[in-house]
Structure 1
Amino acid sequence: MTARFGPGELSASFRSVFGTDPDGVWQAPGRVNLIGEHTDYNEGFVLPFAIDRTARVAVRLRPDSTIRLMSTFGNQGLTTADAGSLSRAAARGWTKYPLGVLWALQQRGLAVPGLDLLLASDVPRGAGLSSSHAIECAVVTAMNELAGGGLGVEDMVLVTQRAENDFVGAPTGIMDQSASLRGSSDHAVFLDCRDQSVELVPFDAEQAGLELLVIDTKVSHSHATGGYAARRVSCELGAEVLGVASLRSLSLGDLDEALGLLDEETFRRVRHVVTENDRVLQTVEALRSAGPRAIGPLLDASHGSMRDDFEISCPELDLAVEAARSAGALGARMTGGGFGGSAIALTPQGAARGVRDAVGRSFAAAGYAAPDIFSVRPAAGAMRVA
C-alpha cells in the first residue's frame, strides 16, 4: 500500500513530472463486497460498498495524440503510448487499466485526445479490494468530463467492464465499478446485475458499535488468470444445461432438479450462486430491519459456500476467517474474486484489537506472512476533487 496523496500533493507531483499544472484531479474508491460473490456475471444480486481508500489521477489533455502515464508507486517509470493506436499488447503493469478505459471509450466513438496522467493509489493491490477498478473509474470519470463524453453512470460502468473484459482480459462483471462509481457514505450498494438497478442500503457499522476489519492475507491473485475464468465457464455450462439464460433465473427450489441434471462439480458451482443470491437478499432485509449486527451468520454461510461449493478460498483466507470468529467477530468471510486477497470480519469495537492479535498470531504459527489488517467504512463514490 502506498502513502495517501492528497489532491494538492498530487497536483504538485504532476507539475514536477510534467512541467505544468493538471486540468484537474479525480478520485475513485476501492470496494469491499459485503456479500454476493461471483453472482454479478450471473445477472444476480450483490451488496458491495465503496471504501475510504482511493485511486487518484491528475490529468491534463494534450494538443497532440501522445499519452504519457506515470504513477507514484513502483519503478515502471514514464510510459508513452499513442491515442491513435492503443493496443493491449503494448500495455504493461498498471498502465493497462487507464489505457483499457481510453480504448473502450474509443470503441464507443469518443475521440480520445492525448493526455498526461499521474496516478496515486492507497487501495492495496492484489488484495481483492478492486484496486484496478478504482483506477479505471477515476480515469473514466476524468475523461468523461475532460473529453465531453456525456456518459451517465450506467454507461461508465459498461465502459470500464469492456476495458476489463476485452483489453485487460479479465472476465469480470459489473459489481466493482458499480460500487466505485455509485458508492455513498455509510451505505452499501444493493445492485441488481441484470438491469443495473441500485438501492442504497444503510450500513453504518460504527453507529452500531462495530468495525469492519479487512484482513489482507498478502496472497496475491489475478482475475486475468485461469481460476476465475474457469468458474465463469462452469456457471455458463450450468445455465445452458438447465435451459436458463443465466443462473439468476434459478431459485432454491430448482436445486433438486439441478442435482439430477448436472455433474457433481458443476452442481456445486450452481448451488453456490443460487444460495449466494438468496443470502444477499436476506442480508439486505436484515440490514433494513435489524441493522448490521444481524448479518454475521450470513457472512459465515457465504464463506462456507465459497470454500466448499465454489472452491475459491485458500488456506490463508480460511485461517483468517476462523481466527477472527474465534476471537469474537460476529461473522467473517473472504471477499473478492478469491484465490487469495482479503477476508472481512464484522467485529464489535471492543473486540477489534483481540481479533487483530488473534489473526496475527495464527498466521505466525502457521508460517504465513504477516497479514495487513485495517478497518474500512462505506465512502462516497468517484468524483472530481480538484
Structure 2
Amino acid sequence: MSEQLISATKSAFKKQFSSNAERVFLAPGRINVIGEHVDYSDGFVLPASIDKYICFVVKASGQNEKSRFFAADFDDEFSFDIYDKLVPAEKHWANYLLGVCHAMKQRGAELKSFQIAFSSNIPMGSGLSSSAALECGFAFILNDLFSLNFTKKELALIGQQAEHEFVGVKCGIMDQFASVFGKKDHVMMLDCHSLNHKYFPAELGDFELVLFDSCVKHSHLTSGYNDRRKDVEAAKKIINEKYPQVLKFRDTTFEMLNNIKEEIGEQPYLRTFYILKEIKRVEAAAVALSKGNMITLGNLLTETHEGLSKEFEVSCDELDFLVSETSKNKGVLGARMMGGGFGGCSINLIKKDAVDRVSENIKELYLKEFGIEMKVYPVKISDGIKECTDDAI
C-alpha cells in the first residue's frame, strides 16, 4: 500500500514541479487504543502509529524562489515567501504547514525555500489524526532538510503549536507525539503532564484492532471540542482554588469532585467525571495489554464509549449505532468511538477469524439504518515518521 502511495506522490511532484524529488518521507496516522480527551488534562493516553500515511516528496529550491506546497489529493498548490512574516491563509489545508514554519521561525530556525508534494491514504475526517501527521511530518522534513537540530519532543510541540495558532483547534499533544514517537508493534503510554512515555508490546494474540468508519463528520467538531475543553478548564480552576495541594489534575479524587459539583455545574461536572475515570481506564488497559488480557481490554473500550457518549457527549447516532450493534456479535470483545467525536471511526477488538463476518454484518445493518456505506480499516501498528530510501520502500 505504501509503495503505491510513494509512487503516486513522486509522480505528482514531477508533474507539478517539472523535476524529480530528492527525498521521500512517510508520516503515519494513529489510533488511540484508549484515553480519549484526556491529553489536555494531565492524563495518560495509549496511542500507536498505524500503517496509513501521508507521503511527502521534497526538494530544496533556490534561495530567491518561493516555497511551494502541492496537495496532490486536492490538486491544489499554495506558494509563499519563507522569508516573509507568516500569517494564516484562506486555504485551510495550507495553515497546518504555514503554522509549522511560523513555530520554527519563532524558535530561531533559519528556513530556506523548498518544494513539497504530499498525498495520503489516511482517511480524512475519520479520527486517525491526518492533521498531526501533516504537521509533524512536515516539521520532521524541515528539521532534517535544513539541519535545525530540533529534538523529537520539540517537533511534536511545534506541530501542536501550529494547530493551536494557525488552525484554531486547541488540541492536546497526543496526536503529534504518537506520529513522531511511534514504535512498530508497540503502544505508547504517554504522560501528558510530563511528556514522559514508555512502550508496551501490543500482543493481541488471536485478536486484532479493526476500525469501522462511519463516513460522517458533523460540522460542530471544532466548536464542540473547544466547548468541552472550556468546561473541563472551568472545573480545573475551581479544583485548584479549593484544593491547592492537588498539583496534577489527575490526582483529583472523585470525592473532591463531588464536593464541588453544585459550584461547577452539572455539565462541567459530567465532563470532568468522565476525564477522571478515563485516566484510570488507561492505566488499567496498559496492564491488561502487558498481560495479554484481552477480555479486560475489551471491557475497558466499551466503558470508554459509554462515557464519551453519555458524559462527555461527543458521540453521535451513527457511532452509537456502530458500537451497539458491533458489541452484539460473537467474537467481539469491545468497541468504542475514537477521536475527537461527532463522527469518524469506531475502534473494535475482534477475534481474527470473526473480522470478515462481523464487518459484513455491521456494514449491512449500517447501510439499512443510515443509507451510508461503512468502510472497514484493519490496522497494523507501525513506526513513527521516517525517511524512505529506495532500499526501504
Residue in structure 2 matched with residue 211 of structure 1 by the alignment: 208
- 1:318 equivalent to 2:315? Answer no
Aligned residue number for residue 143 of structure 2: 144
Cα deviation digits, residues 299-350 of structure 1 (max 9, x gap) = 0000000001100000000011011111131000001111111111100012
Partner of 1:334: 337
Deviation at 1:34, TM superposition (A): 0.5
Please say if residues 207 and 349 of structure 2, whose CA atoms lie closer than 8 Å, have aligned partners that are also in contact.
yes
The alignment status of 1:374 with 2:383, answered yes or no, reads no
Which residue of the partner structure matches residue 186 of structure 1? 185
Q: Which residue of 1 aligns with 2:243?
A: none
**Map of 2:72 onto structure 1:** 72
Rounded Cα–Cα distance in structure 2 between residues aligned with 1:347 and 1:253:
36
Q: Which amino acid aligns with 1:29?
A: P
Q: 1: CA distance between counterparts of 2:134 and 2:218?
A: 17
Three-state SS of the structure 1 residue aligned to 2:323 is helix
1:346 aligns with 2:349: yes
Q: Which residue number in structure 2 is paired with residue 305 of structure 1? A: 307
Task: Give the Cα–Cα distance (whole angstroms) in 2 for the partners of residues 95 and 280 of structure 1.
Answer: 34
In the alignment, structure 1 residue 278 sits paired with structure 2 residue 274: no
Within 1, Cα distance between the matches of 2:26 and 2:90?
22
Deviation at residue 267 of structure 1 after TM alignment: 0.5
Query: How do residues 1-386 of structure 1 correspond to structure 2 at under 5 angstroms?
Result: 5-63=4-62, 64-75=64-75, 77-85=76-84, 87-205=86-204, 208-221=205-218, 225-243=222-240, 247-328=249-330, 329-386=332-389
Give the residue type in structure 1 aligned to 2:292. A
Deviation at 1:65, TM superposition (A): 4.9
Report the alpha carbon displacement of residue 223 of structure 1 after superposing the two structures with TM.
8.2
Q: Secondary structure at the match of 2:215?
A: coil
**1:212·1:346 contact (CA, 8 Å) conserved in 2?**
yes
Would the aligned equivalents of 2:5 and 2:119 in 1 still touch at CA under 8 Å? Answer: no
- Equivalent pair of 1:46/1:193 in contact (CA under 8 Å): yes
**Amino acid in the other structure paired with 1:71:** A
Contact 2:203 / 2:292 at 8 angstroms: preserved in 1? no
Question: Within 2, Cα distance between the matches of 1:74 and 1:3?
Answer: 19
Query: Post-superposition shift, 1:370?
Result: 1.2
Q: Which moved more, 1:92-101 or 1:168-177?
A: 92-101
The 3 A distance-change label for structure 1 pair 9 and 370 is: closer
Q: How far apart in 1 are the matches of 2:254 and 2:71?
A: 47
Q: Report the alpha carbon displacement of residue 160 of structure 1 after superposing the two structures with TM.
A: 0.4
Note the C-alpha offset of 1:13: 3.2
Gaps in structure 2 of 5+ consecutive residues: 241-245
| Greater alpha carbon shift after TM alignment, 11-20 vs 268-277 | 11-20
Q: How much does 1:87 deviate?
A: 3.8
Give distance in 2, aligned partners of 1:65 and 1:194. 41
C-alpha deviations, 1:113-145, integer Å up to 9, x for none? 111110011000011100111111211111110
CA positional deviation for 1:92: 1.0
SS at match of 1:327: coil
Deviations 1:266-305 (A, max 9, x none): 1100001000000000101111123444300000000000
Deviations 1:40-87 (A, max 9, x none): 011211001111101111111122251111122124x22211212354
Q: Residues of 2 paired with 1:253 and 1:278: CA distance?
A: 15
Within 2, Cα distance between the matches of 1:82 and 1:114?
Answer: 8
Stretch moving more, 249-258 or 146-155: 249-258
Cα distance, 1:163–1:224 mapped onto 2, change above 3 Å: farther
After superposing the two structures, state which structure 1 stretch, 277-286 or 346-355, moved more: 346-355
| Mapped partners of 2:206, 2:130: distance in 1 | 28
Deviation of 1:5 after TM superposition, in Å, equals: 3.7
Structure 1 residue 221 displacement after superposition: 5.0
Structure 1 letter corresponding to 2:296:
A
Give the fraction of aligned pairs with identical amino acids, expressed as a percent: 31
